[in-house]
Chains A and B, each alone.
Chain A
Amino acid sequence: MADYTAVLPIIIVAGIAILIPGIRALSKSDRVTGAAALIGLGISMFLVLQFLWDGTAPITFAGVIQLNAFSALFMLVFLSVGAYVVISSVGFVKGEKHTGEFFALVLLAISGMMVAAGSLDLITLFIGIELTSLSSYALVAFRKKDKRGAEAATKYFIYGGLSSAIALFGISLLYGITSAYVDSGGLPAGTNPLLFTSIGAAVSAAQVTADPILFLATVMIIAGFGFKIALVPFHMWAPDVYEGSPTTITAMLAAGSKKMGFVAYFKIFLIGLLAIKADWTVLIAVIAVLTMTMGNLIAVSQTNIKRMLAYSSIAQAGYILIALPIATVGDPATIAGFAGITIGEYGLAGGLFQIVTHAFMKGGAFLIVAALSTVAIGESISDYKGLSKRAPLMAFAMAVMLFSLAGIPPLAGFASKFVLFSGPVYASQTAGNGWMIWLAVAGILNSALSLYYYARVVKYMYVEKGPTDRVKVPLSMAVGVAICFLAVVIIGLYPQPVIDACLNAARALLGA
């Protein structure tokens, strides 16, 4: 009898997903269906929290999925995203067909993300990502009569399929390299060659490092998973898809799917390819700076709020990516407060923290757009004129989300950017890593740039005069927004537990 503890949270979410169409058919109520989905997510979240609470050693299932501080942190993020997407979708999809399938697909996507978070080898990671991707394609096309939705889904499917193929090609090359290494006796016979640790061991060996195929595989991996994260120059699909999707699904794509791409990057680069870091740190650093700069520059000229937020998501991905080169710095942090961790772990924790806060602030912003669209407030930024009079609470929540995205204290976005950007500053004080300070400089200049387009939306909402009729958003959507709002404010005022969780997660990944 295998120990299913590690996969139980995933099984529960996936199991409920399979039951949901039946629940919908029997109850004929979106609320009941949503509640069922929520119960599944809640139990799963409880199990993950219990694991973190107990602080027990990592639990592995079948050698390919592991519940540890790193995967638990990501699972919690994904489950929270799932929860607020489900809650707000109850009001969002009211009166539409196939809502049972809608909720089922959301849960399947979440379980795919959880598989990716827990994965120990490349193929499990890939399966998790594909599970999420396939569910998301259908979700994007949920409103099949909507032309923009259909176009977005087609585009997403083609780009997604292509990028999966590229990633898979990279994986197969790595498989070849590692298998050859196992066969040559470098690792015990029968070792799973796709384990990140096997790849790590193989890549450290001299004869492999020199292999040009390894370089090709690295490039394929960067490109393949770079599409999923929407890094520049693989970002073209994101604004169209984010704009065309049902907005609660956009929230899930930005807050969940994108983060799954980071899971892939962190695991492959920091466990598998750490030995050849000299080959990719600068490349990743350049991509990070390009991504944040392009994202912010293009966001400035957007008139549609979903597109603006999409480009802002691209920029945020650039910020998070800063953590990857920093995480390779192995020097121990000789400071008492950070006893027992390396500078790299501190830097990675900054990236993880930004992932957590971004899930709430960007998700929250999209949920507000979704909520307002149900009361016939359009998606053009000029439709938000005078919003502070029409929907004061929504306008206030939006202002908080946007200021948090810009990194204004005392909100969560400030706390996470503070830790994230302090990583390069810290790393730059070690030998040979002086250039990393420029990552912090680039991030900080970009934050200032981003303030322009965030403040513009706030200006429209609070300064410009618009229609004065009061609007009332559906309760379930208001609850979804409230969750994100509270998370942003509370994490901003008391970030200590989240920072500790991120430090533990970073240690679990890099210390492995």
Chain B
Amino acid sequence: MSELFNLLSDMHVLTLLLVLPLAGAIITFLSGSKVKAAKVIALTFSAITLALATLLLLAYPYGQTITSAFQFSFVDNIPWIQSLGISYAVGVDGISVPMVFLTALLCFLAIVFSWDVKSRTKEYMGLMLVLEVGVMGVFMSIDYFLFYIFWEVVLIPMFFLIAIWGGPRREYAAIKFFIYTHVASLVMLLAILSIYFNAASILGYNTFSMVTIGSVGPAFAVGFQSVMFLALFFGFGVKMPIVPFHTWLPDAHVEAPTAGSVLLAGLLLKMGAYGIIRIAMPTLPSGAQDWQWLLIVIAILSILYGAFAALGQKDLKKMVAYSSISHMGMVLLGFATFTTIGVAAGVFQMFAHGLITAVLFMVCGIVQHIAGTRDIPKLGGLAAKMPYYATFVMIGFMASLGLPGLIGFAAEFPIFYAFAWMNGVWNWWILLPIISVAITAAYYIWSMQRSLFGPLTDKIDTSHLHDVSWYEAAPLVALSALIILFGIFPNLIYQYITPVANGILSFMGVL
């Protein structure tokens, strides 16, 4: 173990990663009426958090041998509600470390990107940091109760971000988002309670520890596992979202402010996928195998439905929103293969999609801001007036459609590979998700061609068009750099994920 590892362990780095943004949020809320002060405080705290998360990424011993699905580092464990067996327990492994890093990165960039928010800046910045606490907490909790608390805490800031700073139909979208995801959470809660009591009767004592419950998971009755897996899959799936429970997503995305969309697509959707790979699959191995066919069918359905729906959109942001459904379907397909390559690539796709979708929503926000509309038919020829903007759009679109050399390809290709070569009757089904590659390329290239190239549009006033501002360009440059870096060297991230993916699958007994 390196010195950095020991240093971070002694610092209780995970708790610090939760406390820092929380403290930042409280200070931001309490800061005076100065707009600038709130922004600077929020930026400072998110920057320190990002620095710490980067150190965590560097210090995590990815080379270690993983023998189980539940092998965590940097663990902090403090008993909390003893009579129910609840602890404040946090820890990270090779799957959560990249997600924690992604969370810190996107929150920091979203705050930079929101530099021009003028209405109720203090609340806006504070809520961003609260959201960061919630998402971080989800990715590092190793106690079911704690996990659920962070899972629900995320809803409140996102509800306000959409409801206060959103578009014209923001109130409808905010309440729809809140209720859809809350119903799903409650179903998940019911499943967690059942698992808790079942584990307790096997163990002889009650605990909400993911590690302990996970260790007795294979001993659960087969029928019980089957039902519980379905309940958890629903709970996590709505958040992902999976077709047919996706309808909150286009509404929420279209109405949310840009930074809200970035965090919604970049982080909140990942929570759903994370729940499936962290909890549902390893804890209920035979349940997962019972429903493998359903995972595959729903994954393919989401991939195709998302792609075709995106093809039909006129609103650039709605198109990106539907593309998220398609790409999250890809994550699920990777998981459903039950192969090391597939699962690892699914997690990698979570990471990749987080970076790419942030770029996509940012460019949507910029065009809305500068041109006053996101309607693809009204735009055209923007590249001539906004060359930098056009570059960022191209990087984002190309990464998303899976151009080799960019991060999207490094995620999607192994998923297709794993699905095509997995055991069983599914081999020829690969043709279905493959179709989506063509559809995805079609909607991106077509929309790019219509909005960026060709003659300058005369449907909107183009006299005041200007290129991106510094606070818009800076996050885009950073994200683009990472998209290219991890596109060329995907192993930088895969080296974290693959051993854990292998550990989870061998724990499930499916390798």
Which A residues are closer than 8 A to B by beta carbons? 334-338, 403, 408-410, 414, 418-419, 421-422, 425-426, 429, 440-441, 444-445, 447-448, 451-452, 455-456, 459, 462-463, 494-496, 499-500, 503
Contact = CB atoms under 8 A, between A and B. Distances in A.
B189 interface: yes
Contact of B190 (A335, A444, A452, A456): A444
A459 B171 contact: yes
A335 B205 contact: yes
A334 B204 contact: yes
B33 to A, nearest CB: 12
A337 B206 contact: yes
B81 interface: yes
B174 A499 contact: no
A455 B160 contact: no
Contacts of B26: none
Contact of A408 (B80, B155, B175): B155
Interface in B174-232: 174-175, 178-179, 182-183, 186-187, 189-190, 193-194, 196-198, 200-201, 204-207
A500 B81 CA distance: 10
Task: Assign chain B's interface to a size class.
Answer: 35 or more
A425 to B, nearest CB: 4
24 contacts: A335-B201, A335-B205, A336-B205, A409-B152, A410-B153, A414-B149, A418-B145, A419-B84, A422-B193, A425-B190, A425-B193, A425-B197, A426-B193, A429-B201, A440-B190, A441-B190, A444-B189, A451-B178, A452-B179, A455-B159, A459-B174, A463-B174, A494-B81, A499-B84
A409 B80 contact: no
A336 B206 contact: yes
B197 A429 contact: yes
A441 B227 CA distance: 14
Contacts of B500: none
Contact of B204 (A335, A403, A495): A335
Given A403-B156, A409-B153, A410-B153, A459 B163 contact: yes
A495 B81 contact: yes
B64 interface: no
A422 B153 contact: no
B131 to A, nearest CB: 15
Interface of chain B, helix or strand or loop or mixed? helix
Given A337-B200, A422-B193, A462-B164, A496 B82 contact: yes
B178 A496 contact: no
B186 A448 contact: yes
Contacts of A463: 163-164, 170-171, 174
Nearest to B152: A409
A459 B156 contact: no
B179 to A, nearest CB: 6
A444 B178 contact: no
B85 interface: yes
B115 interface: no
Given A336-B205, A462-B164, 20 more contacts: A335-B200, A337-B85, A337-B200, A337-B206, A337-B207, A338-B83, A408-B152, A408-B155, A421-B190, A426-B193, A429-B201, A440-B190, A444-B189, A445-B183, A445-B186, A448-B182, A448-B186, A455-B159, A495-B81, A499-B84
B183 A448 contact: yes
Contacts of B174: 459, 463
Contacts of B200: 335, 337
Interface string B6-23: 000000000000000000
Contacts of A419: 84
A343 to B, nearest CB: 9
B84 A455 contact: no
